[in-house]
Amino acid sequence: MRRVLLAMSGGVDSSTAAVILKDQGYDVVGCTMQLWDYRRNPQKDGKPQFGRCCSLDDVYDARRVAEKLGFPYYVINLQEQFERTVIEPFITDYLEGKTPIPCTRCNTFLKFDQLLVFARKIGIDQVATGHYARVSRQPGQDYVLMKSRHPSKDQSYYLFELTQEQLASIQFPVGGYEKSKVREIASSSGLGTAEKEESQEICFVPDGNYGRFIERHAGEVNKNLLPILEKSAQPGPILFKDGAPMGTHTGVYKFTVGQRRGLGIAHSRPLYVLRLNVQQNTVTVGYREDLYSQGLTADRVNWVSGSVPEDPVKARVRIRSRHQEAPATITLNRSNGSGWQARVLFDAPQMSVTPGQAAVFYQGERVLGGGWITGRI
């Protein structure tokens, strides 16, 4: 019987994935990654705050599903790796004026790296998750990462850094289903997670206050970040797009491009963050129309499709997880030591191109690859 290690979050998607895999004849082994010690979070009513993902309740829910469906279940402690590969870069990026995507790094370095290592240690060569995405392959050809059949739930954006070797060992059982069908399968199987709410926030910042999280944990994860934090926390000017002073900020890392709320500025029109300059300690604001860019630059481009397309590339590009892909022309450059770089020119200007986010390239339902946004054009 074929064996598969199923990553279980305690939610309905990974629970339903277990049902589908069992129905397909797999010998399922479940596991949950213990990534974050929630005792490190701010307390509310004398208790630490938990996110809707990876909490003790989620572990309990995942274990109950495994017991009901009759397969073994493990909890794997990956807190040290999570802090090194996700938390520290998350804090560093904010201190550098970027807006990171920790979920992508978690997928790249933990779910589809460390879990594969664990799987192989116990004699399993396949890992499955509850992601809304698909993997396909024609005989003798490369593996292809594809969008979910449920467009509004598609998570392929977060998976662009995967390799051909990883795609060969991954399954996404719910990727071909609508969310309503996933819940229906869970309900008909008698799973208590059938109507469980979805996780929306970043799991290790349940209150959504990134600035407070950075201040609380920067020194814990790397003491070398403390002087950078101290410098970044110095008050500085909020400037209008023409350079006129508008107010004062208390830390560039507390802002992100496109932000409208929490600026503390009274103005006749809504203002948005346009740029962050860590070196000059400035936050520049302007109007909504000022957020539009004709293009972007990206580095560390990964071709998850397995082959580098012919330059220039015509594709649709997604610049945020919920961004509607926009047609664009991509030109490529390979610089010494830093891998592929891309210059993306959109057919029509796009809003809020944000350094630190990903630009992911699609042709139809197929994911070609993607890179990390370094600037706007």
CA 338 to CA 361: how far, in whole Å? 19
Is 203 assigned a catalytic role?
yes
Considering the candidates 53, 54, 103, 203, report the single residue annotated as catalytic: 203
Are 235 and 250 in contact by the 8 Å Cβ rule? The answer is: yes
Residue 291 in tokens? 């957020």
Of the candidates 261, 244, 253, the one whose C-alpha atom is nearest the C-alpha of residue 281 is: 253
Q: Which long-range contacts (CB under 8 A, 24 or more apart) does 191-196 make?
A: 191/12, 191/15, 191/16, 191/19, 191/65, 191/68, 192/61, 192/64, 192/65, 193/10, 193/11, 193/12, 193/15, 193/61, 193/65, 194/12, 194/15, 195/12, 196/10, 196/11, 196/12, 196/61
CA 88 to CA 111: how far, in whole Å? 17
Is 106 assigned a catalytic role?
yes
Residue 173 in tokens? 């059982």
Considering the candidates 31, 53, 103, 106, report the single residue annotated as catalytic: 106
Are 142 and 306 in contact by the 8 Å Cβ rule? The answer is: yes
Q: Which amino acid is at 176?
A: G
The angle formed by the CA atoms of residues 99, 263 and 103, to the nearest 5 degrees, is 20
| Active-site residue list | 106, 203
